[in-house]
Amino acid sequence: MLTQPQAPALFAGLLRESLPGVPVWESADLAAPDAVAAIIAWRLKPGTAGRYPNLRLICATAAGVEKIIDDPGLGKDVAVMRTVDPLVNIGVAQYVLLMALRHVRGLPRFEAQQKEHAWIRHRPPDPYGVTAGVLGMGEAGRTVASLLHAAGFKVMGWSRTPKQLPGVDTVAGADGLAACLSRSKVLICTLPLTAETRGILDRRTLGMLPAGAYVINVARGGHLVESDLLGLLAEGRLAGAALDVQEVEPLPADSSLWDHPGVTITPHIGAQASVACVVTQFAENWRRLCAGQPLVNTIDRLRGY
Ligand code: NAP
């Protein structure tokens, strides 16, 4: 059964081709609760999962699953998978590179000068002189880190467990976070939103960044305490931020983030998994489930990602 992904008919058409003979319902109203064994969704309204006694698999149409697993009625025996689309990781990395270079190369200043017809040169920074810190060294974070390294940044990557990535100085754990923050002139968040990472970008951690640092959040709005960011911007401690994701989406029209000259807001456009990728990965797991084989791209319910 499909619930709330964009264009359910597109998903349903491809699903019927991929899994002939398996009934597919395009909305919750059409399905008999005990007939539903799997759900494909971007978000589950709390209380949804508990309505389906034979539910065995939920497939998130996105990389993040926080809007799926916060349903208290979700049984422990229900497997949750996410979609891992390599093109999403590239899209996220492109977004980060765009925003990082825009800031580091001072593009807003030249755009302002152009309005004044002012042809004034400013020295670009040493291309290897800027350290970018990437929080999260998973599918997205590793792609971001590699692209930033190729673009001439010094890159530090932080994760829960130690990682190795060519050209990237990797650190882990609480000490690793402090080391990463203290050096990052550009800080990028690619963490999953979990109980441990919610609000991780707050006054304390953002205050550990070098003066004049720039923050790029391409993960989830819940990672950032927006009022703390605005406070540090007002104090001149931080130079600015690019926020692809916000705590409340769509960002309310009266949010102060809209009007801050140092803040760039985008409406969660980092990247989105393709319908084909979601369906292919779901169908693979459906076949595995039916054959009693281990599933792929599942998340650890306790860890939250
Ligand atoms: P992933 O492959 O699961 O990677 C998550 C990374 O975060 C891992 O390296 C993990 O460490 C690290 N991590 C998790 N909890 C941590 C903690 N408490 N302390 C330190 N490190 C921690 O996830 P992904 O596919 O890269 O996606 C990450 C997030 O990006 C998604 O959840 C989603 O919210 C966001 N996203 C946004 C967009 C967009 O359009 N804006 C698009 C795609 C994804 P370990 O490696 O040690 O486990």
pLDDT tens-digit profile of 97-155?
A: 999 999 999 999 999 999 999 999 999 888 788 999 999 999 999 999 999 999 999 99
Establish if 248 belongs to a structural domain: yes
Q: How far is the CA of 159 from the centre of ligand 1 (A)?
A: 9
Mean pLDDT of the chain: 96
Establish if 301 belongs to a structural domain: no
Q: Is 78 in the same domain as 117? A: no
Q: Is 278 in the same domain as 260? A: no
Q: Is 99 in the same domain as 66? A: no
pLDDT tens-digit profile of 142-192?
A: 999 999 999 999 999 999 999 999 999 999 999 999 999 999 999 999 999
Residues 169/119, Cβ–Cβ less than 8 Å = no
Tell me how many domains the chain contains.
2
220 is catalytic: yes
Q: What is the CA radius of gyration of the chain?
A: 21
| Per-residue three-class SS string for 4-44 | CCCCHHHHHHHHHHHCCCCCCCCCHHHCCHHHCCEEEECCC
Indicate if the pLDDT at residue 4 is higher than 70. Answer: no
Q: Nearest residue CA, atom 29 of ligand 1?
A: 192
Q: Is 40 in the same domain as 107? A: no
Indicate if the pLDDT at residue 3 is higher than 80. Answer: no
What proportion of the chain, given as a percentage, has pLDDT over 70? Answer: 99
Which tokens go with 260? 């801050």
Q: What is the dihedral of CA 19, 22, 27, 30, to 10 degrees?
A: 160
Establish if 2 belongs to a structural domain: no
What proportion of the chain, given as a percentage, has pLDDT over 90? Answer: 92
Q: How far is the CA of 191 from the centre of ligand 1 (A)?
A: 4
Q: Is the CB of 242 under 6 A from ligand 1?
A: no
Establish if 304 belongs to a structural domain: no
Q: Is 47 in the same domain as 153? A: no
Establish if 296 belongs to a structural domain: no
103 is catalytic: no
Q: Is 199 in the same domain as 61? A: no
Q: Is 224 in the same domain as 240? A: yes
Beta strands in the chain (DSSP E): 2-3, 38-41, 57-60, 79-81, 131-135, 154-159, 168-172, 186-189, 213-217, 238-243, 263-265
Q: Is the CB of 198 under 6 A from ligand 1?
A: no
Q: Is the CB of 249 under 6 A from ligand 1?
A: no
Establish if 239 belongs to a structural domain: yes
pLDDT at residue 210, as a whole number: 98
Lowest mean pLDDT among 127-131, 276-280, 297-301: 127-131
What amino acid occupies position 298?
Answer: T
CATH code for the domain in which residue 193 is found: 3.40.50.720
Establish if 1 belongs to a structural domain: no
pLDDT tens-digit profile of 186-242?
A: 999 999 999 999 999 999 999 999 999 999 999 999 999 999 999 999 999 999 999
Q: How far is the CA of 256 from the centre of ligand 1 (A)?
A: 27
Q: Is 64 in the same domain as 93? A: no
pTM of the model: 0.97
Q: Is 143 in the same domain as 76? A: no
Q: Is 168 in the same domain as 224? A: yes
pLDDT at residue 28, as a whole number: 81
Average confidence (pLDDT) over 278-300: 98
Q: Is 62 in the same domain as 92? A: no
Domain extent at residue 19 = 8-85+273-291
Indicate if the pLDDT at residue 5 is higher than 80. Answer: no
Interacting residues of 259 by C-beta distance below 8 A, sequence separation 6+? none
pLDDT at residue 126, as a whole number: 87
Average confidence (pLDDT) over 64-93: 96
Indicate if the pLDDT at residue 63 is higher than 80. Answer: yes
Establish if 299 belongs to a structural domain: no
Q: Is 136 in the same domain as 75? A: no
Average confidence (pLDDT) over 273-286: 97
